[in-house]
Structure 1
Amino acid sequence: MRKLYFIAVVGCFFLLQHTAQSQNLVKANLLAPLLQTGSFYYERVIDDTKSTQLGVFFTKFEELSGFGVTPEFRFYLSETPAPDGFYVAPFLGFMRFTVEDNEFESYKGTSTNFGGGLVAGRQWIFKDRVSFDIFLGPEYTASSVSVESGNKGDIEDAAFSGWIGRGGISLGLKF
């Protein structure tokens, strides 16, 4: 059921992009490598005040490895047309992690997280080609844990649940 819900959300995200305007951006989060993560975004402008963005990340950090998908809808509040300016963006998040430790306590399981939140940010477009985006905001996420072996508590400790922060600095290209 959750997979079906997730597919429906992503499908609706792409249906919102029915505009003939062709402003697209691809971006990479410059802070993500600090957490041994690759984080990338695709943004499409809908009109002068709105855009949609789809983010994906992949990670392998200590005993945690997995991926996430984050669709968001941006409302640009500046005088300049999107995608340049200050924005606020509600978003949803889906994350799936494998949690595994074979060195000390020997446990393995998965954590599936659903959540959402709101970020505020500022994006600059230079020479009508290069984007620089800074954003920050809160996210609430709930996780469900599946245990293959070991103690469920060890896997729950490694999973994200509750309030967390979402932020980044991304650099990209507009086309």
Structure 2
Amino acid sequence: MKKLFLCALTALAFLGAKAQDAQNTIKINPLSALLSTGSVFYERKINDGISAQLGLAYTGIKLEDVKFTGVAITPEVRFYLKQKAISGLYAAPFLRYQNYTVTDGTDKGKYNSFGGGALIGRQWVYGSGFVLDLFFGPSYNSGTYKATQGNNEPDIKGGIEGFGIRTGIALGFGF
């Protein structure tokens, strides 16, 4: 899977248009690996000041004794401030849907949540096609847990439930 992803990114870099005229970016967040999570983002320019981005993540994170395994989908709209999309300072409201299997000792269940937040970020698209995206902002998620094994509900926290911070560094290619 990793080899296929890297091959696709390389092909897009060589086949894409000039980076200054980039209409799309594909990025990964290397910091998410520290949290046992893999995430990929696709951004598309809509007009000179606005783009849309879709993020997909898969996690196997363990917070204390509680393990979360599953996916998150994060759509966002980016409003570029005084620069043309897709390179510059931006503000971005986002939504997030999470679907996890939760394991806490012998108890197991399903957790689904919906939330959102707002980001401030800065993205650079260099002439070579390399993209650097830095972002930070508050988030809130609220969900439901349904036990499939056992009766105890785990303590769901750590930004997965309630208030949290969404931050990251994304690296990729513009085309």
Is contact 2:140-2:159 (8 Å) kept?
Answer: no
- Where does structure 1 lack aligned partners over 5 or more consecutive residues? 1-20
Of 72, 83, 86, which residue of structure 2 is paired with 1:83?
A: 86
What does residue 120 of structure 1 align with?
120
- Where does structure 2 lack aligned partners over 5 or more consecutive residues? 1-20
Q: 1:172 to 1:122 in 2, by over 3 A?
A: same
**3-state SS in 2 of match to 1:70:** strand
TM-score (norm 2): 0.80
TM-score (norm 1): 0.80
What does residue 68 of structure 2 align with?
64
In 1, Cα distance between equivalents of 2:43 and 2:88: 14
**Alignment coverage as a number of residue pairs:** 151
In 1, Cα distance between equivalents of 2:142 and 2:165: 14
Of 85, 92, 96, which residue of structure 1 is paired with 2:95?
A: 92
Q: Map 1:38-57; keep pairs closer than 5 Å.
A: 38-57=38-57
Which stretches of structure 1, 4 residues or more, deviate above 6 A after TM superposition? none
Larger relative contact order (CA 8 Å, sep ≥ 6)? 2
What does residue 12 of structure 1 align with?
none
The letter of the residue matching 2:102 is V
Is contact 2:93-2:117 (8 Å) kept?
Answer: yes
Is contact 1:108-1:155 (8 Å) kept?
Answer: no
Deviations 1:110-159 (A, max 9, x none): 11010011000000111151110000101111011110122333264689
Q: Map 1:1-175; keep pairs closer than 5 Å.
A: 23-62=23-62, 63-78=67-82, 80-101=83-104, 105-127=105-127, 129-154=129-154, 156=156, 160-175=160-175
Q: 1:98 to 1:158 in 2, by over 3 A?
A: farther
RMSD: 1.9
Q: 1:155 to 1:99 in 2, by over 3 A?
A: farther
Deviations 1:29-65 (A, max 9, x none): 1211100110110000011110000000001123211
Kindly state the Cα deviation for residue 89 of structure 1 after the two structures are TM-superposed.
0.3
